[in-house]
Amino acid sequence: MTEQRVEFRVSPDRYRHWKLSADGPVATLTMDVDEQGGLVPGYELKLNSYDLGVDIELYDAVQRLRFEHPEVGAVVITSGKPKIFCAGANIRMLAASPHGWKVNFCKFTNETRNGIEDATANSGQTYLAAINGTASGGGYELALACEHLMLIDDRSSAVSLPELPLLGVLPGTGGLTRVSDKRHVRRDLADYFSTKAEGIGGKKAVQWRLVDEAVPRPRWDQTVAERAAELAGRSGRPGNAPGVALTELAKAREDDAIRYGHVEARLDRAAGSVDISVKGPQTGPPAGIDAAKAQGAEFWPLAVTRELDDLILDLRTNEPELGTWVFRTEGDPAKILAHDELLLSSRQDWFANEVLHYLKRTLRRLDVTSRSLIAVIEPGSCFAGSLLELALAADRSFQLAGVFEDSDAEPATITLGEASLGPLTMSNGLTRLQTRFWGDEAGYEAAAKRKNEALEAEDAADLGLVTFAPDDIDWDEEIRIATEERASFSPDALTGLEANYRFAGPETMETKIFGRLSAWQNWIFNRPNAAGPDGALRRFGTGQRAVFDRKRV
């Protein structure tokens, strides 16, 4: 395995497609895609169309705005090209990509757009789409992730979702869900809009709620500036605080290992699994949140979250055949709980708020990852507080009852902390604990009452916090069987099973995007009517019409 891997670490000085400029409380993200800058050869990124490389930069910019720019209260997304805002995902790239690549690409772009909404909702950083040219497909979907949509009213610029009429697929980045559930476009109008390739512009786009306002070109720059200033004015972010720099993440990537400061992954290609080990903090927390800021990117909760985030993205994109991830931890539970306590007691502070929401988003990334997740809780582990979420995110967890023979270690414990009781919600709006005990309030209460107690295996299993509690005699065998068995099952069926069982209870726009919309899109992407040699996706741009099997399924 020496072929090129996709790397998610990037920084503004290396951007090829975006310009990030911050001017006091308003920042501007200008999309100006380098046609020749595709991540892999074989296509040109014309008309501000994007591929994964373009979106990796966008993700980086959104992250940096939150951490490095506490002074920014509004972010304008606009285009650096004339007449075109963004043409969406590059079609040639999509048509040439294998099914798994397309699905993984859509997942990441969805997460980035959800992150934009998260910044608006939870970070006082409100996004404004300044649609200064046509926004089609993924281009309009990018705008839909913004809070306020302004469309230039010039008789030619329009917003559109041409995927269905032109490509025979769905808009893949939440477009349908946001049109119906966020913009509240009436279903019949939405239906019409999504079949009209040329889209809708001007006043009608406003009337139909597709955008918030249409502004003539002469008043454009001034109106955008006014709106951005208004949105920034509502922000509670500190105007003059210094940011925390997201310094280059130290990472050693080998063929069979990925190592960071606190996280290490060992890749077992024969078994089809990855062993992921997370180290707790070596020391107690800094004296206060300002001291934490002084630690900057080294502050343990931020550092470990960045490492996990990068690891998830790396493994998802580069290692699709490693279907099972086994999580272990190592360290002192008390030190994690103390770090959590610092963050939770400082939530009014912008930095503490950012770290908590970043951890929340990273754990959500894990929830929607199409890999089987297993947590292994052994003596010396530290599944406590925020790190317990890794075990609660797992499809199954094993905690050793007692200790290994001839060991003088203390038995493994888990500790449910305050972090599991509120801030780290899943995309369904509930905590992992609430989701776990959905429909079982007594079970929830019994577990929550044991907050901050170190629970040994039998207790934890009785409370329903871990799945199984084998003793040392059965331990190796049980873990081995669980991972080997997992590797023997259909990977597709596992993906479907996990996507269903991980999200009991209510649905939100976010779960609808990942659960309903993405599942339909997966199916459509995989059908000959789209991806077959005569399918719409493959024939687009060839001058030949697609040939459809007309049977409705």
Distance CA 202, CA 143 (A): 16
Q: How far is the CB of 545 from its own copies (least distance, A)?
A: 9
User: 165 vs 296, which CB is nearer to its own copies?
Assistant: 165
502-523 core/surface letters (b: 16 or more CB in 10 A; e: else) = bbeeeebbbbbbbbebbeebbe
Cβ atoms of residues 175 and 161 within 8 Å: yes
Contacts 24+ apart (CB under 8 A), 432-437: 432/363, 432/389, 432/392, 432/393, 433/392, 434/505, 435/502, 435/503, 435/504, 435/505, 436/392, 436/464, 437/464
70: nearest Cα among 190, 235, 197, 202:
235
Q: How far is the CB of 182 from its own copies (least distance, A)?
A: 8
User: 411 vs 528, which CB is nearer to its own copies?
Assistant: 528
User: 157 vs 397, which CB is nearer to its own copies?
Assistant: 397
108-274-367 Cα angle (round to 5): 40
292: nearest Cα among 345, 249, 248, 239:
345
User: 30 vs 526, which CB is nearer to its own copies?
Assistant: 526
**Widest Cα–Cα separation across the chain:** 80
94-513-144 Cα angle (round to 5): 80
User: 37 vs 496, which CB is nearer to its own copies?
Assistant: 496
Q: How far is the CB of 466 from its own copies (least distance, A)?
A: 8
Dihedral, CA atoms, 224, 229, 235, 238, nearest 10 degrees?
130
Q: How far is the CB of 155 from its own copies (least distance, A)?
A: 23
User: 347 vs 396, which CB is nearer to its own copies?
Assistant: 396
The helix (H) or strand (E) run that includes residue 305 is helix 300-318
Distance CA 3, CA 436 (A): 40
User: 33 vs 461, which CB is nearer to its own copies?
Assistant: 461
Q: How far is the CB of 500 from its own copies (least distance, A)?
A: 4
Dihedral, CA atoms, 347, 375, 104, 513, nearest 10 degrees?
-60
Do β-strands 273-279 and 26-31 pair in parallel, antiparallel, or remain unpaired?
unpaired
Strand stretches in 119-200, DSSP E: 126-131, 134-136, 148-153, 159-160
Q: How far is the CB of 438 from its own copies (least distance, A)?
A: 6
**Which residues, other chains included, contact 403 with Cβ-Cβ below 8 Å and sequence gap of 6+?**
379, 409, 410, 411, 472
User: 207 vs 345, which CB is nearer to its own copies?
Assistant: 207
User: 286 vs 320, which CB is nearer to its own copies?
Assistant: 320
129: nearest Cα among 30, 234, 21:
30
Backbone angles phi, psi at 75, to 5 degrees: -125, 125
Q: How far is the CB of 307 from its own copies (least distance, A)?
A: 21
User: 342 vs 463, which CB is nearer to its own copies?
Assistant: 463
434-450 core/surface letters (b: 16 or more CB in 10 A; e: else) = bbbbbeeeebbeebbeb
User: 290 vs 492, which CB is nearer to its own copies?
Assistant: 492
User: 28 vs 397, which CB is nearer to its own copies?
Assistant: 397
What is the DSSP secondary-structure string of 18-75?
A: EEEEEETTEEEEEE---TT--SSSS---GGGEE-HHHHHHHHHHHHHHHHH-TT--EE
Distance CA 84, CA 346 (A): 43
User: 181 vs 471, which CB is nearer to its own copies?
Assistant: 181
Q: How far is the CB of 113 from its own copies (least distance, A)?
A: 16
Q: How far is the CB of 407 from its own copies (least distance, A)?
A: 26
What is the DSSP secondary-structure string of 486-511?
A: HHHS-HHHHHHHHHHHTT-S---HHH
Distance CA 387, CA 384 (A): 5
Q: How far is the CB of 530 from its own copies (least distance, A)?
A: 7
Q: How far is the CB of 187 from its own copies (least distance, A)?
A: 5
User: 104 vs 120, which CB is nearer to its own copies?
Assistant: 104
Q: How far is the CB of 144 from its own copies (least distance, A)?
A: 14
Q: How far is the CB of 270 from its own copies (least distance, A)?
A: 12
Q: How far is the CB of 437 from its own copies (least distance, A)?
A: 7
Distance CA 245, CA 59 (A): 16
